[in-house]
Amino acid sequence: MDRGTYAAASGGLISLAKLHVVNNNLANANTPGFKRQYLIREQQGFEDTLTSKLNESMPFAQGDHDRTPGVVQVRTATDFSIGSIQNTGRKLDVALENPHDFFVVNTPEGRMFTRAGNFSVDGEGQLVTADGYAMQGDGGPIVLEGANSYITSGGVVMSGGNEVGRLLVTRFEDPAALERVGSNRYRSLPGTPAPVPQESPSIAPSSLEMSNVSAVQSVIELISATRGFELYTKTASSIDQMNEQAISRVGSSSS
């Protein structure tokens, strides 16, 4: 492949990946507990290329790759910085004030973790997430038993004048080791350090941690990625046209 086309295609793929990430960030700018994603670019190693697989039959493959730099691969990462905490007045809303702390959620795929504290009560009286998954208390699922239910600054759930449970809050020293599931849930990967349960978590009652996405900055990034993708596409097209002209002239001169 022509060196210029190779580099232009690489740049175009990066811009396209950035468009997907920024669009998802913008779509969740108002999602409680959502954490912004961003791209990490890495120079593609020779061992990741197709030519490396053909190295025995094509001894000059590595040299060709070395003469065609500029290709990168990208992966997404999560910014776990804390979002703004807003008072909502809802008694079942809570916000974690330590960016390394997470609530524990029971799902059909096992325990997961979230920072979204917009809880509600399902038909069986259980405290659940906004999409209906049961919250884990320090003694199991939390069932509300009466009126005037609320959650204290220590995570204690009160209902009908009685303490019915306490939210299980765990701390990850390195949240970057978590795998994202959906918009605001995460799971711990095998081999990563186990989270530490917090006996006295710092919780803001009747409040929510909002998304840490800056809508203004995301719009700027969206415009930049769109223009970048258009530029790389035009560059690749121009290189193709120049190659066609060169081939045509060579063909004409040889005849």
Q: What is the DSSP string of 185-218?
A: EEEEPTTSPPPEE-SS--EEETEEEPP---HHHH
Least Cα distance to 181 among 111, 84, 130 occurs for 111
CA angle 31, 39, 71 (to 5 degrees): 155
CB atoms within 10 A of CB 51: 15
Average pLDDT, the chain: 83
Cβ atoms of 50 and 61 within 8 Å: the answer is: no
**What pLDDT is attached to residue 254?**
55
Question: Model's pTM, two decimal places?
Answer: 0.76
Say what the pLDDT of residue 64 is.
Answer: 45
With vertex at residue 163, the alpha carbon angle to CA 160 and CA 167, rounded to the nearest 5 degrees, is 120
Question: How would DSSP label each residue in 228-246?
Answer: HHHHHHHHHHHHHHHHHHH
Instruction: List, for residues 119-176, the tens digit of each pLDDT value.
Output: 999 999 999 999 999 999 999 999 998 889 999 999 999 999 999 999 999 999 999 8
Which of the residues in the chain have pLDDT under 50? 1, 50, 63-65, 67
CA 2 to chain centre: 34
Task: Name 83's bridge partners.
Answer: none
Decide: 34 and 218 in contact? Cβ < 8 Å.
no
pLDDT of residue 177: 87
CA pair distance 101, 122, nearest whole angstrom: 25
pLDDT, residue 252, reads 61
Q: What ranges do the domains of the chain cover?
A: 3-80+214-254, 85-209
The closest of 134, 165, 136 to 152, measured between CA atoms, is 165
Going by C-alpha positions, the residue among 76, 77, 24 that lies closest to residue 183 is: 24
Edge-first strand listing for the sheet containing 162-166: 150-151, 156-159, 162-166
pLDDT value at residue 72: 58
Lookup result for tokens 């590595």: 62
DSSP readout, 210-224? Answer: PP---HHHHHHHHHH
pLDDT at residue 146 in the model: 81
d(CA 127, CA 79): 28
